[in-house]
């Protein structure tokens, strides 16, 4: 296995727990357009949301809501709802996440946190957790060109952090879209984690070479020392 120099880790469901806030924010956005439980199109819309977890939120709204104006408004309501969850303290680190990031960086591996959130929401989460000093880079689809399942996020992380070949890149996430993004990027390590929205079976079916019980299991996988307590 090639030496890993850059790790691109997903946020919600992989390193961050949000107590169902992502789905709640999607429901709030849908309600803005009459997509409420029992209404025509609601079940189909929420099924699509579930299927596309991990992907760019604005792209999901473009598909569900049709017009660009409606998509932009839906995305705005989503971001506002999720921001309320952040302020309420519902967004917290998953066990071992901060320690994993610290262990990777102590071993010389640069760490990017990637997300389908808009930059303003991503940054609000980082600030609430106090994680800005803990990482090397944070990326949203707006920073990279396209969101998942495209490879733009991990490849942008590799380029911006001065990594070498794609074989030196590790990509970890909790959705099939995360796995597909890492595989398309040609990453040396692509792993799914079961702490988020997808099951072990779903991640394996997406082609994940590794399925982990938590992001902390990445530490021995890349061959670095054990995670240590942070804070």
6-17+93-221 adopts what CATH topology?
Rossmann fold (3.40.50)
State the Cα–Cα distance between residues 6 and 111, nearest whole angstrom.
6
Write out pLDDT tens, residues 83-132: 899 989 999 999 999 999 999 999 999 999 999 888 988 999 999 999 99
pLDDT at 203: 97
Q: Tell me the pLDDT tens digit for each residue of 22-36.
A: 889 999 999 999 999
CA distance to 22, 112, 131, 140, per residue, from 59 (Å): 15, 22, 27, 13
Q: List, for residues 148-170, the tens digit of each pLDDT value.
A: 999 999 999 999 999 889 999 99
pTM of the shown model: 0.87
DSSP 12-74: BTTTEE-TTHHHHHHHHHHHTTT--TTSTTHHHHHHHHHHTTTS-HHHHHHHHH-SHHHHHHH
Q: pLDDT at position 54, please?
A: 78
CA 182, CA 169: separation in Å to the nearest integer? Answer: 9
**Tokens matching residue 153:** 């996020």
Q: What does the block give as tokens for 107?
A: 């071993």
pLDDT at residue number 2: 66
pLDDT > 90: percent of the chain: 78
pLDDT digits (tens, 9 = 90+) for 168-209: 999 999 999 999 999 999 999 999 999 998 999 999 999 999
Task: Output the pLDDT for position 227.
Answer: 54
Kindly report the average pLDDT of the chain as a whole number: 92
Domain ranges for the chain, please list them: 6-17+93-221, 21-87
Alpha-carbon gap, residue 175 to 10, rounded angstroms = 9
Helix (H, G, I), strand (E, B) or coil at 170: strand
């Amino acid at each position: 296995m090639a030496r890993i120099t850059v790790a691109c880790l997903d946020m919600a469901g992989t390193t961050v727990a949000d107590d169902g806030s992502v789905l709640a924010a999607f429901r709030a956005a849908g309600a803005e357009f009459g997509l409420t439980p029992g209404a025509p199109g609601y079940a189909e819309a929420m099924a699509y949301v579930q299927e596309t977890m991990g992907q760019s939120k604005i792209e999901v709204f473009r598909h569900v809501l049709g017009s660009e104006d409606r998509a932009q408004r839906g995305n705005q309501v989503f971001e506002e709802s999720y921001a309320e969850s952040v302020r309420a303290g519902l967004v917290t680190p998953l066990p071992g996440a901060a320690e994993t990031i610290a262990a990777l960086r102590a071993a010389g591996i640069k760490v990017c946190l990637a997300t389908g959130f808009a930059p303003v929401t991503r940054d609000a989460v980082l600030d609430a957790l106090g994680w800005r000093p803990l990482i090397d880079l944070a990326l949203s689809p707006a920073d990279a060109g396209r969101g998942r399942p495209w490879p733009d996020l991990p490849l942008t992380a590799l380029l911006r952090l001065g990594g070498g070949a794609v074989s030196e890149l590790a990509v970890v996430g909790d959705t099939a879209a995360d796995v597909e993004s890492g595989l398309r990027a040609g990453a040396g390590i692509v792993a799914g984690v079961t702490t988020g929205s997808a099951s072990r079976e779903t991640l394996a079916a997406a082609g994940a070479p590794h399925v982990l019980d938590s992001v902390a299991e990445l530490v021995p996988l890349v061959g670095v020392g054990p995670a240590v307590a942070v804070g």
